[in-house]
Structure 1
Amino acid sequence: RLMIEGVVLSTSKIRNGINKGEYSGWDDPRLGTIRALRRRGITPQAIKELIISLGPKTSDVSVSWDNLAAINRKIVDPKANRYFFVPEPVLLRIRNGIPGKYYLRLHPDYPQRGSRVLEIPESGNGEVELYVPKDDMKSIPEGKIFRLKDLWNVKLIDKDELLSERVETEEMPKIKIQWLPLRESIKAIVVMGDASLIEGLIERNVLMEKEGEVVQLERFGFCRIDSASKDVVTLFFSHK
């Protein structure tokens, strides 16, 4: 019998948990059922390769979720288009920012796949405003230069006011964070492996994808699109 660490596989425990309302159903992300794994974006090929790699066993075998994730990552990485997701967004003001349309590759290794477009408007007073992750801004000290991914280098001038300015530097900053203009964003809810929810903004371009597709949210991880409308996208977290 195959056991995956960190997920529940016992049929009796699952059935009892569903009856008690502890689990939402057989596809609850905390479970190790085929339905739950599929909903999290784990491919049948990854499950097959994991079983083959273990070989025939006469006793129970326990594997970590990381083992399954590593196999699945190799399968979905070439296929998964990239998008920005900003959890717990806060508004960053940027002096000397350049308004306009910016073209970002759907996949860094496959330029022939095309680009997605993010348009940055001017907010007035020679500034632009972009949403960035709250946790990142908490960790960046005042005066530090960091990179808005695939865009500009900026220096944090005032941490309390979240004011920064675009700067030119010879070296690429080590800190890189994702960003989004409000007009290019819609609400996103990511269901994590422990069934907790992380809310934020995702770029509207993700609506080009079909429900059920696995995408990579840059600096966050691979996720499967569970449902999507013009107002909100719900995704299930697969793995880093």
Structure 2
Amino acid sequence: MDDDLRERVERAAEKHALLNAVKYESDADVGAVMGPLMGENPDFREHGDEIPGVVGGVVARVNDLSTEEKRERLEELAPEELAEIEAEDEGDDHDLPDLPNAEDYDEVRMRAAPNPNGPWHIGHARMPAVIGTYKERYDGSFVVRFDDTDPETKRPDLDAYDAILEDIDYLGFEPDEVIVASDRLGTYYEHARELIECGGAYTCSCSGEAFSDLKNSGEACPHRDKDESTTMAEFEEMVDGEYDAGEMVLRVRTDIEHKNPALRDWVAFRMIDTPHPREEAASYRCWPMLDFQSGVDDHLTGVTHIIRGIDLQDSAKRQQFVYDYFDWEYPEVVHWGHVQVDAYDVKLSTSELKAKIDAGELDGWDDPRAPTLQSLRRRGIRGEAVVEALTALGTSTSNVDLSMSSIYAENRELVDDEAARYFLVRDGRAFDVEGGPDAGHPPLHPDHEERGERTIPADRVVVEPEDVPAEGERVWLKGYACVRREGDALVATGDSIDAVREGGVDVIHWAPAEDNVEVRMRTPDGDVSGVAEPDFAGTDVDDVVQFERIGFARVDDHGTEESVAYWTHP
């Protein structure tokens, strides 16, 4: 590792060590520093074997400082990130910290900028959940901008535009403005021309490999000193589609010796031969890179605050060059870490989910095994529960884990009081019932007697295999009576409920063996078959019910052969 690289690693490591120590009011941890350090500086990765040793020394020096010295040093190195931490400390009444410098703006205006290559998975929901919550807190506005200017490697899905807007509606928010970037090519071209006129861009026909070698060695591209008129003429030829893919790009003139090679003369426009799937954009072949398009749109749409992943810090730095050329003021930026979701075997990846759907491994975007918002919606999980769980994660720069149990807990609070109760028996074993009444009458809801009772025929019943009592043992059929097993029969004993309270008799659910409803319950672990009590047939599609001792479920369909329910959560 040369001295220049070591200095850069030490400087970056000191900042992240201080952030870690100040945020958690404790000593910095090498492991916690390595993640954001490597994410923010991808060129460090090739030196992965040497980096931890350097970071360890920096962390040790930081940990020798007092609490006040750490905070003072962090204020020197990263005042904006220190302000974010302090805002979090002061935001005790909210899961989300106050936005930086929000009081300096007449209106807080934020944007979600999805790539419409498919419906949203749970991780995508974090952005609209947080932005929508900030909009309500500050009485601001919420822009949705579809960043669809890559028709090849991140090819848009024509159905995804509406699907994403439906996902936002499901979460409980309504955007104040919806923008489609592929409708705005003329705007991006005009700003490219202005950039050329002020000396901020040049056309380059170097191969990607050749330019990369020049960039990494800090050497200027031979096209860098091209005169304005030549650059403008060649850019117009790009707009007219006169070059093939890879033959010509437009670069933003930055600092070819910048300490971060990723910021050196980055590409603003390139040629793409693949037509855009939207008919309105299919004729264009000169497309802006995301950093140029997004930077221009953020300014033109009046965005005041941007939330983006900490791994995208270079985007702000690239865009700052364009903003400086145009004398624009850059929006406030909040960086956060990635969110990981448990309880799924499928990765949070739109492309991987699409591949599994295409291969028939998933039935669609709303398959209960898919970690998508469409799946949660079909399972009967309310958008409000998703928003509450996601905003509770805050906006930490550290990666965070979202436990599905937190979404389930939020949703249970919303549906429990409304959900009628029913019995569902899976893989049941049948018994005749002797000596008791003809039917059981458990309540529709244990906390609301006024809602009435269910009627469950009880001459012959099925119970789940693990609930089958041993010969001579008693169980309490919930809503019916205490029974004792005698061979293939369950015989009513006449015992009162005290048998449960004092005698250790288990309470089990049950269903009639003949007069029942065939149910297929779709779950994240696969489909489960069973039979439900007859009153379940009277539920409406979209009702969320509780199958007692099993969990909540959303009624999806009542067919002639079977009813279908989607498992919601325990």
TM-score band (shorter)? 0.7 to 0.9
Counterparts of 1:93 and 1:84, CA distance in 2: 18
Structure 2: 5+ residue stretches without partners:
1-337
Residue 364 of structure 2: aligned partner: 25
The structure that is helix-richer by fraction is 2
1:15 aligns with 2:331: no
**Which structure 2 residues correspond to residues 21-170 of structure 1 after superposition, within 5 A?**
21-99=360-438, 101-120=439-458, 128-137=459-468, 140-158=469-487, 162-169=488-495, 170=498
Normalising by structure 2, report the TM-score. Answer: 0.38
Structure 1 residue 230, shift from structure 2 partner? 4.6
Structure 1 residue 183, shift from structure 2 partner? 4.8
Larger radius of gyration: 2
SS at match of 1:115: coil
The structure that is strand-richer by fraction is 1
Structure 1 residue 30, shift from structure 2 partner? 1.6
Counterparts of 2:340 and 2:505, CA distance in 1: 39
Q: What stretches of structure 1 move > 4 A for 4+ residues in a row?
A: none
The 8 Å contact of residues 41 and 236 in structure 1, kept in 2 or not, is answered as yes
Which of 14-23 and 143-152 deviates more? 14-23
Structure 1: 5+ residue stretches without partners:
121-127
Q: Partner letter of residue 181 of structure 1? A: P
Normalising by structure 1, report the TM-score. Answer: 0.87
The 8 Å contact of residues 423 and 511 in structure 2, kept in 1 or not, is answered as yes
The 8 Å contact of residues 193 and 238 in structure 1, kept in 2 or not, is answered as no
Aligned residues, how many?
A: 226
Counterparts of 1:94 and 1:116, CA distance in 2: 18
1:29-67 Cα shifts (integer Å, max 9, x gaps)? 122111011111211010011122112233432222222
Aligned alpha-carbon RMSD (Å) = 1.8
1:66-120 Cα shifts (integer Å, max 9, x gaps)? 2221111111111110011111122112221222x54321110011222222244
The 8 Å contact of residues 441 and 480 in structure 2, kept in 1 or not, is answered as no
1:171 aligns with 2:499: yes
Residue 543 of structure 2: aligned partner: 213
Counterparts of 2:449 and 2:436, CA distance in 1: 26
Closer/same/farther in 2, CA of residues 204 and 95 from structure 1, 3 Å limit:
closer
Asked which structure has the greater RCO (Cα within 8 Å, sep 6+), the reply is 1
The 8 Å contact of residues 186 and 230 in structure 1, kept in 2 or not, is answered as no
**Percent identity for Structure 1 against Structure 2:** 31
